[in-house]
Structure 1
Amino acid sequence: MPAVTVQSTLELPRVPMPDPETTPQRPVRSVTTAPQGFEGEGFPVRRAFAGVSMRDLDPFIHMDQMGEVEFAPGEAKGTAWHPHRGFETVTYMIDGRMEHQDSHGGGGVITDGGTQWMTAGSGILHIETPPEALVMSGGMFHGVQLWVNLPRANKWNPPRYQSIEGPQATLLSSPDGGALVRVIAGDVAGHQGPGSTFTPVTLIHATLSPGARLVLPWRPDFNALMYGLSGRGAVGPDLRPLDASQLAVFGPGGALTVTAAERPDSRTPEFDVLILGGRPIREPVAHFGPFVMNTKAEVMQAVEDFQNGRLGVAPADRLPHTTPGEELK
């Protein structure tokens, strides 16, 4: 994985080991396997949150693992122009490149450990599509898109766009150097990630060497989820097995534990996991397509506003997508 790496994790700040006497480890409440699906114009995804209670996910709404897939020339696909309202989209590119453009002036290329953090707020149009050169050449594509809910008080905030380049992530290591911890947003043991969020959340990509163990201090008022990106290992104090494309939901406590398998699978020698959590919003959720509001009436208003052009206008120099003539339908 070409997401940000270092030559020696021993040169990085260490995540201190939480005191087991005062900081109980969070038990694993469930492990689910993400089913396969397709998104946008047909690129393959894993629906990471399928079958998990919204109560366990709050403040998160939806997460897709995009790929990991090797596109042949002409195969790469993205999305058409489409609207959002009421939440934030977080696109983390592990491998490959994705172009973003929105009706509020945000845009750029997300690549190799970079993150796009887009606050849809009161409403926005955007597109995510592979660059033309990638479509022509083909190549590896692997990323994650996460939807973070906004509290009622922030759903009508003006749209905002953050581009977080891979090298901006805060890099830490486990005490023995066996794990590389990339903090994209939130705080880990006093080390702050670069992402700015309305809803308090922590987002981490960790890579563990074979047999390595990582124990992270975790805010007791946050929920806690861990998703296997590649490789295999175990999570929690009882070493519950976790493989690629599986999601672990943790119970209460002050620390998270993940251990990489001693004998990795044949495809990758390391165990890569996405670790995320946030302070639950505990408000009603009305979710329909690209709109996440508090009531059905608000969702219906969002649909009407989109149909009447009140969620923004795609710029004159808008990016094309791979199925011409279908945008904004």
Structure 2
Amino acid sequence: MRKIKKKYKATSAPIADLITYRALPTREVEYIDPFLFLNHHGPQTYKPKNNGLPFGPHPHRGFETLTFILEGDIMHQDTGGGKSVIEKGGVQWMTAGSGLIHAEISSDKFKKEGGPLEILQLWFNLPAKHKMVKPNYIGLQQDQIPTATEDNGNVKVNVISGKWGDVQGPIDSLGGIDMSSIELQKGGTFTTTVAAERNIFFYVVRGKVNVNNEPVEKLHLVEFEQDGDEIKVEALEDAVLLFGHALPFNEPVVAQGPFVMNSEQEIQEAFRDYQAGKMGSWHE
């Protein structure tokens, strides 16, 4: 079994009227290569006639984002031509690459009617060789995400990228990242193996689980040692996890605002390119 190195509680970091917990980075943990950032928005309920999500047009370069819509919806638009409304149970995977401008706001329907909202956004680094790839966006509704089951259906694995058993995720990760969200009913268990040299991303969104015989509550990120390959999880309550793994890139990470590159010089270049309109121009 892999030993647990440390458990980190996500810190409260509200954005406007949006309840937000940040699991990465915090004062205790900067990143788990190549996993850079996780914001957990909600859970909360919006009243009718609300302003929705506050993420208007902003640029990105040098990494990828994966957004999980557990409740509510997101209307996405970007200067690469991506546009969609993804609803409960769906995901968005955006490769910022060489750079684009995007907005992530609530649909007109959600702003009019309100309702529950819980959304998580995870950032993955891109290896240096892929930092400047052409931007790309993929939006998947719940019924487009393949699932695997464990423990007689008590555990449901939504496979986003990489493989889980015989189930292949629909997204081909440039960084070789395997990523799933996992729903467990109380008492449900699963065991999986991850090669010791791969870093694991393990975040408890809801509920409480035992992982390798240690209890972990919701809003906690687990960092593992790189010493074994077995991960055993048991749900102490109904629970939802984000679970992924990847080989670390072991490259310098220089992050400033919306850009993640390998050097300060590349960051300055990103700001210049954005100001020069090279990431596209925004039209509502």
With structure 1 as the length reference, what TM-score do the two structures score?
0.82
What corresponds to 1:220 in structure 2?
A: 196
Do residues 58 (structure 1) and 50 (structure 2) align? no
What corresponds to 2:146 in structure 1?
A: 170
Aligned-partner Cα distance in 1 for 2:223–2:103: 31
Do residues 89 (structure 1) and 65 (structure 2) align? yes
What corresponds to 2:223 in structure 1?
A: 249
Give 1:301's match in structure 2, choosing from 269, 273, 276: 269
Aligned-partner Cα distance in 1 for 2:148–2:208: 21
Give 2:174's match in structure 1, choosing from 176, 187, 198: 198
Q: Deviations over 1:80-111 (max 9, x none)?
A: 10000001111111111110000010010111
> Alignment identity in percent?
31
Query: 8 Å contact 2:186–2:235 — kept in the other structure?
Result: yes
What corresponds to 2:256 in structure 1?
A: 288
Q: Paired residues, what number?
A: 281
What is the CA distance between 1:161 and its match in structure 2?
1.0
Gaps of 5+ in 2: none
After superposition, residues 119-268 of structure 1 pair within 5 angstroms as: 119-236=95-212, 239-252=213-226, 253-261=228-236, 264=237
Aligned-partner Cα distance in 2 for 1:277–1:64: 18
Moved over 6 A (4+): none
Q: Deviations over 1:6-55 (max 9, x none)?
A: xxxxxxxxxxxxxxxxxxx212111111011134x55221101224544x
Aligned-partner Cα distance in 2 for 1:219–1:130: 39
Q: SS in structure 2 opposite 1:81? A: strand
Query: 8 Å contact 1:189–1:217 — kept in the other structure?
Result: no
CA-based RMSD of the aligned residues comes to 1.5
Do residues 34 (structure 1) and 10 (structure 2) align? yes
Question: Judging changes above 3 Å, is the alpha-carbon distance between structure 1 residues 168 and 221 closer, same or farther for their aligned structure 2 residues?
Answer: farther
Aligned-partner Cα distance in 2 for 1:279–1:141: 33
Aligned-partner Cα distance in 2 for 1:100–1:44: 20
Query: 8 Å contact 2:95–2:137 — kept in the other structure?
Result: yes
Bigger mean CA deviation after superposition, 206-215 or 114-123: 206-215
Q: Deviations over 1:215-259 (max 9, x none)?
A: 1222333211211111112111xx211111111112222222211
Aligned-partner Cα distance in 1 for 2:17–2:81: 26
Question: Judging changes above 3 Å, is the alpha-carbon distance between structure 1 residues 219 and 168 closer, same or farther for their aligned structure 2 residues?
Answer: farther
Q: SS in structure 1 opposite 2:272? A: helix
**Structure (1 or 2) with the larger CA radius of gyration:** 1
Gaps of 5+ in 1: 1-24, 265-269, 319-329
Aligned-partner Cα distance in 1 for 2:93–2:104: 13
Q: Deviations over 1:258-302 (max 9, x none)?
A: 1111xx3xxxxx111111221211100110000000000110111
Aligned-partner Cα distance in 2 for 1:178–1:116: 26
What is the CA distance between 1:130 and its match in structure 2?
0.3
Task: Select the structure that is richer in strand.
Answer: 2
Aligned-partner Cα distance in 2 for 1:75–1:153: 39
